[in-house]
Amino acid sequence: MTLHPQAKAFLEYTAINNPLPVDATLEERRADAADYLKYAGPLSDDVNTEHTYFTSPTADLHAVIYRPKNVKPNAPALVYFHGGGWVFSWTLRYAPQMSNIAAETGFVVIGINYQKAPEHPFPTPFDDCYAGLLWVAKNAARFGIDPTKIGVGGDSAGGNLAAAVALKAADTGDVKLAYQMLIYPCLDTNYQSQSYLAHEIGFGLESVGMQWCWNNYVPQTDMNNKYAVPARATRFNNVAPAIIALAEHDVLRDDGANYATALEKAGVPVVLKEYPGMIHGFFGHGFMVDDAYNLRRWLSAQIVKVVN
């Protein structure tokens, strides 16, 4: 399918309204990413928001808790890791998406603001996210959460982190996750895949940009570490069921599809949905793209189904 008209309009609108200098500095790139919050749409009115902090192995980190106003005792939970190439963004940029999912599911949603590369390359962001999961599980009673119904999720780089956290949770047995929710996750460094070659430029996230993010996040010595590059995993014993959403016109489309195949071959339950005509990042494009909300509703339905 060709680009969806709304996705095309979004790309044209942001090209005019969010232009980057040719040789943008890291500070300018981060400021530009922050400006995209306005495209996500409004927060839900049916959710209360709480700000708190927890301690990872290397820092005190911000976390945001979205609790439905009509939340039931022992609610399921979603621990969410935001996208942004491990370099950009912060958890509050995802407030609309997380509050929507909390309202639609009745889950308590906890956004984890991990440290960023290149100042903090792998394993620091991953360690922060895993520490965030352990913190949520340890404090389940405080948060009104059922400790047997905790899942992890994330989009793009956050999908990478969620998949990696799910792998480690399975390896260690520290937390038995109910699910992993991966939204167009970046899981591999095969820049010659069909989706990379077909969407090299002109679809928002470009091949050179994704490669830049990988190079800033993962040192060469860690490129075979499955917690850095989940596609390197060869065994999936006890790994949580996966809910995977993809965009058709995305360099990362094949990353998610191939990971779904690997999980299924290992006997891990997988639900996969690809959105025709969509581009990378559309989860946060509610201002202009209807499928942003269709995706949020689909994800909500899937995680409710898996915990029940």
Residues identified as active-site: 156, 250, 280
The b/e string for 262-280 (b: 16+ C-beta within 10 A; e otherwise) is bbeeeebebbbeebebbbb
Show the CA angle centred on residue 217, arms to residues 231 and 261, nearest 5°: 15
Q: Which residues contact 59 (CB under 8 A, 6 or more apart)?
A: 115, 128
Distance of CA 153 to the CA centre of its chain: 6
Task: Name the residue type at position 302.
Answer: Q
Give dist(CA 24, CA 128) in Å, integer: 28
Instruction: Please say whether the beta carbons of 299 and 271 come within 8 A.
Output: no
